[in-house]
A = this chain, B = another copy of it.
Amino acid sequence: MLPDTMDCQKPQQLAERLEARIVQQIPLLAAMQLCFDEYDGQRLRLSAPLAPNINDKGTAFGGSLATLATITGWCYTTLLADRIGANEVVVAESQMSYLAPVEGRLQSRCEMDDPHLLEQFLARLAAQGRASLQLKVIIGEEAEPALSYCGRYVARLRSPL
C-alpha cells in the first residue's frame, strides 16, 4: 500500500502549495503564468495562458510547450515522492513529438494508469533512497494531442528514512 500523507492534507492543497513554491522560485514559470488546475492524487493538470507563451506564428511557442510538459512530469513525481518525506526530483531525459499547433490556452495532463508502477517507485525510493519514474504527459485534447511527451525523472530522499 502507498505510504500516504493524504489523510491530513488534501491532494489539491499539496499541489497548490507546490505551485506557490515553484512559481516563486523559478522565474520562467512566473513569466509563463503557470497554473495548477487539478490534482486528485492520480491525475495532474496544469495550464498557462497563450499570451505570455505565444510564438512568431501566433500559436504556442515550442519552448513553452516543452517547459510545460517537463514541469508537469516533475510536479507529478514531486507530489508523489513527497508522500514519503522531503525529496529532490530532477528530470533525467525526455522525448516529445509536436503534433499540432496550440491556438489557445496551453493545457497539460499527466496521469498514471498503473498504480503498481507508483507503488514500485515509492517502495524503491523508501528502500534505496533513489528511484526513477517514467511518465507520459500530453498537451491538448487526449484524443488529439498537440504534444506527446515522455520523461524520466529521478527522485532522491534528502534524508534517508
Contact = CB atoms under 8 A, between A and B. Distances in A.
Interface stretch (A35-43, A64-72, A128-136): A64-72
Q: How many copies does the complex hold?
A: 2
Contact of A95 (B25, B32, B51, B93): B93
A120 interface: no
| Overall SS of chain A's interface | helix
Interface residues of A, number: 36
B95 A94 contact: yes
A74 B92 contact: no
A92 B21 CA distance: 32
Interface of A: 21-22, 25-29, 31-32, 51-57, 61-64, 66-68, 70-71, 74, 88, 90-98
